[in-house]
């Protein structure tokens, strides 16, 4: 039997794969009996790896990444479809695809029709699904978490998605529904919280606020409010308070990026005629967060937000290449924003 894991939730794919392989015996011997192939593999290479007998192990593992998304030629797929029913019983052939495949894909149909494969789709969780994902992963690691803490943990991580690929124009890239979580980060936070509380204990809101570096903070909203209202003294006071409290400059910078990215999206939606309810739906945010985003976004024009976001990206590059000291750059940014019209 072959396995096909596909979809954008790479974290859960890896989690499921690790759990599956853990049942196959000694990890060191399994590693010696594992072959990894990618999209460049020929059918001959794939068949040779699958036909090889395991050495001092019950099974041989063949991991094939990104092959199906690369759309192998017709001959390849015909040979593969003919070969899979005869896969050696000692071989665990696992296809890993980072994008979802269509339901009518040949291997998905083959698995269903001939009962010779296991297919699982890993969609990225959004909105309430993310909270359920967090609760399930806490419980899988032997802990418990309150609904409020799961909601806060999900809210902390969900907005941290990659920059929009469509550039800085007033395009649909700002209003994409792909507002999804960094599940690797969320998984790391869960591991840390479970270790902190101990097996069988319940994680609550106070624990998340204490340990999560991306804890949702009202001060960030207040700071952005002050920036938008050109309240220089108030903005400087709030920013200085965070620095004095020992906040990591890179953490503060990540919160700036997070907030202004959301404001950029919210402003684009407002310009398109959406209201707070529409912003909540489109950006997968809670209603009270969407209300604040709508209010704050009205303090800026879309070109202003585009310019701010460009400047944030420039600061990122300058800090990473040693051309600027991050904390100094952030002080200058706060001063510059409160002085702009």
| Alpha-carbon distances, residue 270 vs 171, 275, 288, 337 (angstroms) | 13, 6, 16, 21
Residue 275's CB: how many other CB atoms inside 10 A?
Answer: 12
- DSSP label at 284? T
309 and 335 inside one domain:
yes
Question: Strand, helix or coil at 287?
Answer: helix
42 and 86 inside one domain:
yes
| Phi then psi dihedrals of residue 154, to 5 deg | -65, -40
pLDDT, position 290: 84
18 pLDDT band, cuts 50/70/90, is very high
pLDDT, position 129: 82
Residue 121, class by beta-carbon neighbours within 10 Å (0-12 exposed, 13-18 middle, 19+ buried)?
middle
Closest CA to 289 of 191, 203, 221, 204: 221
Question: Strand, helix or coil at 261?
Answer: helix
24 and 78 inside one domain:
yes
Domain stops at, among 188, 215, 242 = 215
Report pLDDT digits (tens) over 87-119. Answer: 999 999 999 999 999 999 999 999 999 999 999
State the number of CA atoms in the 13 A half-sphere of 63 facing the CB: 15
Give the β-pairing of 2-6 and 34-37: unpaired
| Alpha-carbon distances, residue 155 vs 107, 175, 195, 301, 333 (angstroms) | 37, 18, 21, 26, 26
341 and 221 inside one domain:
yes
Sheet holding 91-97, edge to edge: 34-37, 60-65, 91-97, 2-6, 117-121
37 pLDDT band, cuts 50/70/90, is very high
Q: Which residues contact 76 (CB under 8 A, 6 or more apart)?
A: 42, 43
pLDDT, position 158: 53
The stretch 35-44 carries a mean pLDDT of 94
Helix or strand holding residue 334 (H, E) = helix 326-339
Residue 216 has pLDDT above 50, yes or no: no
Spatial separation of the C-alpha atoms in residues 151 and 132, rounded to whole Å: 9
Question: Strand, helix or coil at 226?
Answer: helix
262 and 158 inside one domain:
no
103 and 185 inside one domain:
no
Contact assessment for residue 171 and residue 118, using Cβ atoms and an 8 Å cutoff: no
Spatial separation of the C-alpha atoms in residues 317 and 314, rounded to whole Å: 5
333 and 223 inside one domain:
yes
Which is higher by pLDDT, 267 or 286?
Answer: 267
The stretch 187-192 carries a mean pLDDT of 88
Residue 33 has pLDDT above 50, yes or no: yes
202 and 250 inside one domain:
no
Give the β-pairing of 117-121 and 2-6: parallel
**280: containing domain:** 217-341
267 pLDDT band, cuts 50/70/90, is very high
Give the β-pairing of 91-97 and 60-65: parallel
Q: How far apart are the first and last CA of the chain?
A: 64
127 pLDDT band, cuts 50/70/90, is low
Residue 254 has pLDDT above 80, yes or no: no
Domain stops at, among 74, 94, 121 = 121
76 and 140 inside one domain:
no
Tokens for 79, please give them: 């040979």
Q: Which residue has the tokens 């789709």?
A: 121
Residue 23 has pLDDT above 50, yes or no: yes
For the domain that residue 202 is a member of, what is the CATH number? 1.10.8.60
CA R_g for the chain: 24
| Alpha-carbon distances, residue 298 vs 83, 240, 275, 276 (angstroms) | 60, 25, 11, 11
234 and 332 inside one domain:
yes
pLDDT, position 157: 64
93 and 174 inside one domain:
no
211 and 221 inside one domain:
no
Domain stops at, among 180, 215, 250 = 215
Contact assessment for residue 228 and residue 300, using Cβ atoms and an 8 Å cutoff: yes
Question: Strand, helix or coil at 324?
Answer: coil
How many domains, the chain? 3
Closest CA to 268 of 162, 164, 172: 172
Report pLDDT digits (tens) over 283-318. Answer: 877 787 788 889 889 988 999 999 998 999 899 899
Contact assessment for residue 190 and residue 139, using Cβ atoms and an 8 Å cutoff: no
Contact assessment for residue 253 and residue 316, using Cβ atoms and an 8 Å cutoff: yes
For the domain that residue 326 is a member of, what is the CATH number? 1.20.272.10
């Amino acid at each position: 039997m072959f396995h096909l894991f596909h979809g954008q939730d790479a974290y859960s794919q890896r989690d499921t794969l690790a759990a599956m392989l853990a049942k196959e015996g000694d990890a060191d011997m399994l590693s010696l009996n594992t072959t990894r192939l990618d999209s460049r593999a020929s059918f001959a290479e794939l068949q040779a790896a699958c036909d090889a007998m395991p050495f001092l192990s019950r099974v041989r593992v063949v991991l094939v990444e990104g092959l199906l998304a690369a759309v192998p030629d017709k001959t390849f797929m015909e040979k593969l479809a003919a070969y899979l029913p005869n896969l050696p019983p000692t071989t665990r052939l696992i296809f890993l695809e980072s994008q979802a495949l269509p339901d009518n894909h040949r291997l998905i149909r083959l698995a269903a029709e001939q009962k010779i494969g296991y297919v699982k789709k890993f969609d990225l969780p959004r909105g309430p699904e993310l909270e359920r994902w967090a609760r399930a992963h806490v419980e899988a690691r032997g802990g418990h978490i309150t609904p409020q803490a799961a909601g806060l943990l999900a809210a902390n991580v969900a907005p941290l998605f990659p920059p929009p690929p469509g550039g800085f124009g007033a395009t649909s890239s700002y209003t994409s529904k792909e507002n999804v979580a960094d599940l690797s980060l969320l998984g790391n936070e869960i591991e840390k919280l479970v270790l902190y509380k101990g097996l069988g204990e319940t994680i609550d809101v106070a624990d998340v606020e204490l340990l999560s570096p991306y804890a949702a903070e009202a001060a960030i909203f207040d700071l952005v409010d002050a920036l938008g209202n050109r309240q220089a003294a108030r903005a400087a006071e709030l920013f200085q308070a965070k620095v004095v409290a020992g906040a990591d400059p890179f953490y503060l910078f990540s919160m700036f990026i997070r907030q202004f990215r959301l404001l950029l999206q919210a402003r684009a939606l407002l310009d398109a005629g959406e209201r707070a309810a529409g912003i909540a739906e489109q950006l997968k945010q809670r209603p009270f967060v969407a209300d604040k985003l709508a209010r704050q976004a009205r303090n800026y024009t879309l070109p202003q937000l585009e310019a701010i976001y460009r400047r944030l990206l420039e600061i990122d590059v300058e800090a990473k290449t040693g051309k600027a000291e991050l904390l100094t750059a952030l002080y200058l940014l706060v001063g510059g924003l409160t002085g702009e019209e």
